[in-house]
Chains A and B, each alone.
Chain A
Amino acid sequence: MHDWVGGFTGALVTGDETLEREFEARLRDSGTLAFRVAYGVLRHREDSEDVAQDAFARAYRHFKALRDREQFRSWLVRTTWRLAIDRWRATRRRVAREQSVEAPSAGRTNEDLALSRERAGHLWRAIDALPEKLRVVIVLSAIEGYDVREVARLLALPEGTVKSRLFNARKGLAEKLKCLKND
């Protein structure tokens, strides 16, 4: 009896340890991805980290059903995007949004940096004005290492749909930027 209880407890402990190890691997693997997805919406480091933490906490609660790597990443991206959009809509802290802090590198003057910041501000505003289904595609495809195929897998969409949305998003961005420049 004691052996059985001990074996059962040991199996539970072993199962928990295995889950912990797998979750740690997912965190290393997808932590930056979740942060960047949130950053693509919020453009604020602290807010983006908070949202990514929330998404990971939710993933931890449901981790037994999300042990598959691809399924985990897809679920994490969608959850992070949803949480980020919720926070973005709730707070609308557009003024306090973080601008990319760049140190003047070699060959770039402060004027270049100011121009670059202004252009980035225009681009973000144009992205914010896009419909959500185009916005998520353009943000995810802007993350390094995520091509059309990866984005389609993350969003559980056909590749053709992602391509079409990406084209429409770029077109919309170009038009918006043109308008912003003229203003």
Chain B
Amino acid sequence: MPEERLTDIDSELREMMAVEPSVEFAARVRQRAGAERMADASWRPAWAWAAAAGVTVVVVGVIALRPVTGVSVPPPPPVVAVALPPVSPRSGVQYLPRVGNAGVGAGRQAAPRPIRKVGASAEPEVLIDVRQTAGMKRLSEMLRDGNAMNPTEGAGVVDLPIAIEPLLIPALSIESAVAIMPPGRFNPYDFQSSKE
């Protein structure tokens, strides 16, 4: 590209860009700046009022939405109650059965129960381990039928190594009480020494 051509373009461009703004231009800019200043000055109080209103709304909202102490105490956990069939108390039970997987009706009990929705009026559903439930039922049935004394009944029942021995209490008598009384003290049962 010839250098003269580029120089021509440059000189033409410089000539075209050699324009001056009108004499009113500076005055109009000053006027515009003054308008900006006035707008800024009049905007400040509006901004302050808006900020104050916003802060007030936030404070009122926080106070209104704040939880009141003592009202929102969480409810106590539901009491777990397991309903057992009536059992006649029997004394002298020496063996406690332990339930194995092959217990009576264990397979049926082990099947998962369908989850049902609990309404507001329904009692809370308590989830207990299936094996524990089966064991409790078996225990109650055995106690009711009197089969708890026979540990060999049913598979999976194992004797516990706990043997409760009978409590031996010696018979109390006056002689034995005098024998343990320390000497020198008044013995109401020592008739011979009191006569002297």
State whether these chains interact: yes
Interface residues of A (CB under 8 A from B): 23-24, 27-28, 31-32, 35-36, 39-40, 45, 48-49, 52-53, 56-57, 60-61, 100, 119-120, 123-124, 127, 138-139, 142-144, 170-171, 173-174, 177
Interface size, chain B (Cβ < 8 Å): 25
- CB distance A23 to B17 under 8 Å? no
Whether B19 and A45, one on each chain, are in contact in the complex, defined by CB atoms closer than 8 angstroms, is: yes
Q: Which residues of A contact B21 (CB under 8 A)?
A: 31-32, 35, 45, 48-49, 52
The answer, yes or no, to whether B125 is at the interface (CB within 8 Å) is no
Total A-B residue contacts, Cβ distance less than 8 Å? 83
Say whether B17 contacts A45, CB under 8 Å: no
- List B contacts of A124 (CB < 8 A): 16
Contact indicator A56/B16 (Cβ below 8 Å): no
14 A-B pairs whose Cβ atoms sit less than 8 Å apart in the complex: A27-B26, A27-B29, A28-B26, A31-B25, A32-B20, A35-B20, A35-B25, A36-B17, A36-B19, A48-B21, A53-B28, A120-B16, A143-B17, A144-B14
Chain B residues whose CB sits within 8 angstroms of the CB of A35 once the complex forms: 19-21, 25
Q: Which of B16, B22, B40 has the most CB of A within 10 A?
A: B16
Residues of A within 8 A of B20 (CB): 32, 35
Binary flags per residue of B92-108, CB closer than 8 Å to A gives 1, else 0: 00000000000000000
Tell whether B13 is near chain A: CB-to-CB under 8 Å.
yes
The CA-CA distance from A139 to B9 in the complex, in Å, is 12
Which residues of chain B are within 8 angstroms of A127 by Cβ–Cβ distance? 13
> Do the beta carbons of A142 and B33 come within 8 Å of each other?
no
**Binding site secondary structure of chain B:** helix
Could you tell me the distance between the alpha carbons of A57 and B36 in the complex, rounded to whole angstroms?
7
From A31, A100, A171, give the contact of B16 (CB < 8 A). Answer: A100
Which of the residues B1, B13, B25, B30 comes within 8 Å of A52, measured between beta carbons? B25
Q: How far is the CA of A160 from the CA of B71 in the complex (A)?
A: 74
From residue B169, how far is it (CB to closest CB) to chain A in Å? Answer: 97
Q: Given A36-B17, A36-B19, A177 and B33 touching (CB < 8 A)?
A: no
> Which A residues touch B14, using CB under 8 A?
142-144
Q: Which residues of B contact A40 (CB under 8 A)?
A: 17
